[in-house]
Structure 1
Amino acid sequence: MGSFSIWHWLVVLLIVVLVFGTKKLKNLGSDLGAAVKGFKDGMAQGTTSDSNGAPAPQVSADKTAEKTTIDVDAKTKS
């Protein structure tokens, strides 16, 4: 009644592969990975905010961010 040996785990793995098939197990693994990645991204977006406590604007990955040039000399001349 101790811990399982490597042979016990191999038999369990073989039974799981026979029941579900390798394609379903591969899809299950990729779905699980995508869910974990989505959760991590959501947690990262939920914790980012500006100094006022408002949520940070979300930038789509499909669009490139516009580059803004600030003229420092123009600000000091005013």
Structure 2
Amino acid sequence: MSRRQRLEIVKRCQGGALQRELAEAYGVHITTVRRILQQSASIIVRGMSPAPPPPPARRADRPARYPGGEPDRPGSRR
């Protein structure tokens, strides 16, 4: 199977085509279509940047918030 055909399979699947339909259209087994899609996903993932860093911890100069969203007030009950 040519590289062009593999790319067409990936694009058609992203467009909503069923794997079964693609297998029939290209004359291959459904596991071949799945393998092509898995390989394309690993190439995409490999090319992506790493996950973003976690959000920073709450800064001390910002007031904490209750679960209801109200800021802490001096003398308030907890």
The TM-score bracket by the shorter chain reads under 0.3
State TM-score, norm by structure 1: 0.28
Q: Which has the higher contact order (CA 8 A, sep 6+)?
A: 2
Higher helix share: 1
> Structure 2-normalised TM-score?
0.28
